[in-house]
Amino acid sequence: MHTMSMMPFSMIFMWILMIAFVYLIIKAIRQDNKSPSSSAIEVAKCRFANGEITQEELREIKKEL
C-alpha cells in the first residue's frame, strides 16, 4: 500500500525530468544557431589591427569584397 501512495509523486518527477531534458536540448540547438559569424571585412580589419596585413592589403580586400 505504501508504493501506491508514492506513485503520483514519481509520475510528477518523471514529467519534470522529461520537460527539463527537452528544454535543455532546445536551448543547445538555439545556442548553436546563434554563434557569431564574422564577415570577411571584419576579419581583415582585425588582421590589420594586429599588424598581420598592411593598409594596402586591407584596401585590396575591401575592394574585392
With a pLDDT cut of 90, the percent of the chain lying above it is 46
Whether the pLDDT of residue 21 is over 90: the answer is yes
With a pLDDT cut of 70, the percent of the chain lying above it is 80
The DSSP secondary structure of 12-64, one letter per residue, reads HHHHHHHHHHHHHHHHHHHHHHT-----HHHHHHHHHHTTSS-HHHHHHHHHH
Whether the pLDDT of residue 49 is over 60: the answer is yes
Predicted TM-score (pTM) of this structure: 0.43
Q: Residue range 12-24: average pLDDT? A: 94
Q: What are the extents of the domains in the chain?
A: 1-34, 36-65
